[in-house]
Structure 1
Amino acid sequence: MSLVLEKLMVTLPRADRPLFEVSLRVEPGQVASVMGPSGVGKSTLLDAVGGHLAPGFRCAGRVWLAGRDVTALPAEARRIGLMFQEALLFPHLSVGDNLAFGLSPAVRGRAARRAAVATALERAGLAGMEGRDPATLSGGQRARAALMRTLLADPAALLLDEPFSRLDTGLRAEMRAFTFAHIAERGIPVLMVTHDPEDATAAAGPVLRLSAKGA
Structure 2
Amino acid sequence: MADGLTLDRVSITRAGREVVALDRHVAPGEVLSVMGPSGVGKSTLLSLITGTLAPAFRFDGRVLLDGADISRAAPEARRIGILFQDDLLFPHLSVGANLAFGLSPGGSAAERRRKIAEALEEIGMAGFAERDPATLSGGQKARVALMRMLLSEPRALLLDEAFSGLDADRRDQMRRLVFDRARDRGLPVIMVTHDKADADAAGGPVVTLGG
The TM-score by the shorter chain falls in which range? over 0.9
- How far apart, CA to CA, are the structure 1 residues paired with 2:110 and 2:6? 37
Aligned residue number for residue 88 of structure 2: 88
**Partner residue in 2 for 1:101:** 101
Q: Distance in 2 between matches of 1:163 and 1:97?
A: 22
The AA in structure 1 aligned to 2:152 is A
Q: CA deviation at 1:127?
A: 0.3
Distance in 2 separating the partners of 1:104 and 1:62: 28
Deviation of residue 63 (structure 1)?
0.2
- Equivalent residue of 1:121, what SS? helix
Quote the offset at 1:204 in angstroms. 0.7
> 5+ residue gaps in structure 1?
none
Other structure's SS at 1:19 match: strand
Matches within 5 A, 1:105-144: 105=105, 108-144=107-143
Give distance in 2, aligned partners of 1:63 and 1:16.
21
Query: After superposition, where does 1:154-165 map in structure 2 within 5 Å?
Result: 154-165=153-164
Distance 1:89 1:145 in 2: 8
Secondary structure class of the residue paired with 2:130: coil
1:100 deviates by: 0.3
Which runs of no fewer than 5 residues in structure 2 stay unpaired?
none
TM-score normalised by length of structure 1: 0.95
1:59 corresponding residue in structure 2:
59
The structure 1 residue matched to 2:10, chosen from 8, 11, 14, is 8
**CA-based RMSD:** 1.0
Report the 3-state secondary structure (helix = DSSP H, G, I; strand = E; otherwise coil) of the residue aligned with 2:60.
Answer: strand
Partner residue of 2:34?
Answer: 34
Q: Distance in 1 between matches of 2:116 and 2:150?
A: 11
SS of the residue 2:33 aligns to: strand
SS in 2 for 1:47: helix
Q: What residue in structure 1 maps to residue 50 of structure 2?
A: 50
Note the alpha carbon deviations across 1:8-37, whole angstroms, 9 max, x for none: 11112xx22221210111000111100011
Once residues 204 and 116 of structure 2 are traced to their aligned partners in structure 1, the CA distance between those partners, rounded to angstroms, is 30
**Alpha-carbon distance in 2 for matches of 1:156, 1:69:** 13
Q: Take 1:110 and 1:66, find their aligned partners in 2: how far apart are those partners? A: 32
Cα displacement (A) at 1:122: 0.5
For the residues of structure 1 that align with 2:11 and 2:85, how far apart are their CA atoms? 24
Deviations 1:127-177 (A, max 9, x none): 000000000000100000000000000000011100000001111111111
Residue 20 (structure 1) aligned with residue 20 (structure 2): yes
Corresponding residue number in structure 1 for 2:197 = 198
Structure 1 residue 103: Cα displacement = 0.9
- Paired residue secondary structure (1:18): strand
Identity %: 57
Q: Secondary structure at the match of 1:45?
A: helix
- The DSSP-based 3-state class of the residue aligned with 2:32 is strand
Amino acid at match of 1:152: L
Task: Report deviation, 1:56.
Answer: 2.3
Match of 1:171 in 2: 170
Q: How many corresponding residue pairs?
A: 209
**Structure 2 Cα separation of the partners of residues 114 and 67 of structure 1:** 34
Q: Secondary structure at the match of 1:146?
A: helix
